[in-house]
Amino acid sequence: MHWLKKRDLPWSTLLVIVLLASLIVGGSNFRAATGSETYESLKIFTEVLSLVESNYVDVVDPQKLLYGAIRGLLKELDPHTVFMTEEMFREMQVDTKGEFGGLGITISMQNDILTVISPLEDTPAWQVGIKAGDHIIKVDGESTKDMTINDAVKKMRGVPGTSVVITIVRKNFTEPKDFTIVRDIIKLKSVKYRILDEDIGYVRITSFQERTDADLRAALQDIWSGDKGLKGLVLDMRNNPGGLLDQAVKVSGEFLEKDKLVVYTKGRRPNNNTEYTVRRSGARTDYPMVVLVNRGSASASEIVAGALQDWERAIILGTPTFGKGSVQTVIPLEDGSGLRLTTAKYFTPKGRSIQNTGITPDIEVVTATIKAAEVDPRIHVKEKDLEGHLSNETIDEEVDAAEDAAVDAAEQALEEDYQLQRALDLLKSWDIFHKIKSTDTAKADGIN
């Protein structure tokens, strides 16, 4: 190493040396805190960095080297611990606001393969048929084998109206398939709702953003306003990739009583051991409820499903969820970049960790398509279907026809959703089960 003393060191190497010196001399007990092995490894890193900058055949960008080293370090950890450049850090902050330009998919690394966690509903990716679990092996012809999540996101996002080709491998594909997707402004409306079959409330949460709890509260107030005689509620969190932890807690609070435990976290540091309880309970928490989940339900949606399941507040129906049971802390760095670091694991109120296992539904129902039997159209003929029928001057028949078409499309989508149909059937028979249960309880108590 004596030869290093006789030459000028590259600035990035000097930066690392100065940083190490400041940690040691500054009284932070660096050796004790990190261990002698880590300290020696950092010395080797400094030496390699110096050799590369001084002797590599081409001139290298020092920042690129350092960022690459950081990514290599983090790659040894879990796939949710990620270094973000300044640009990616800004985009991440935009995501939680609920609007960005892109395709509409949430991705992760699984076994070093770029994988779709879930497509976001009503986005370009959803419309062309991208599904949860799809493996993305190429983006615009470039292999994703050594591509980071950040790089993949950067390549897939872009100016609305431009297109990108992603190559997908799927279990039932005999060979990889190209999907051409036109980018669009992705406006994430995280809460959608309506009344189904005239007596069941339906709320779909597509992600957990800054305003999800407020939008959910407004939706529930509208659903339960007036005396509609509703028999229950379906909460649909299928293909919900998650989002903000505090929003998962607040959403759970709309269905649980105040002070109920929603989730708790455990990490290496005491400040990462936290219990999250309901601070503000919903206006009503007494109605029958079914929660729909699938393999695309991850993170925050699993927190909600786990809490409602543990407190026996709702029946969970669908297929096992994604299984992301870890908490990430976002840490801004001095140069504008950021670090998303896994700092804890979360547990349901009964102490279950869902890491890698997911939430197991109370009733497992796989996705299926219901094909209605062919019916003689003459059975359902209406007056307006008869040739030469008299017009109704009080309505616009063209508008009426358009509304009928929209209703027919919605009904067809509903009829083809087997999991949702099962949830509706369950809620409609809830009273019967409740009466049977009450009768059995009375008999057990000797009441006749």
- Alpha helical stretches, state H, 225-277: 245-253
Pairing mode, strands 326-332 and 338-347: antiparallel
Q: Which two tokens stand for residue 309?
A: 């399941």
Q: How many residues belong to the chain?
A: 448
Give ∠ CA 69-112-351 in degrees, rounded to 5.
100
Half-sphere exposure of 385 (CA within 13 A, CB side): 7
Measured distance CA(25)–CA(41) in Å, rounded: 19
Instruction: Tell me which residues are annotated as active site.
Output: 299, 310, 324
Q: Which two tokens stand for residue 86?
A: 């300044």
DSSP code at position 205: E
Measured distance CA(215)–CA(213) in Å, rounded: 5
Measured distance CA(108)–CA(81) in Å, rounded: 11
Burial letters 376-408, b for 16+ CB under 10 A, else e? eeeeeeeeeeeeeeeeeeeeeeeeeeeeeeeee
| Cα separation values, 279 from 249, 251, 258, 311, Å | 9, 11, 6, 16
Measured distance CA(229)–CA(214) in Å, rounded: 24
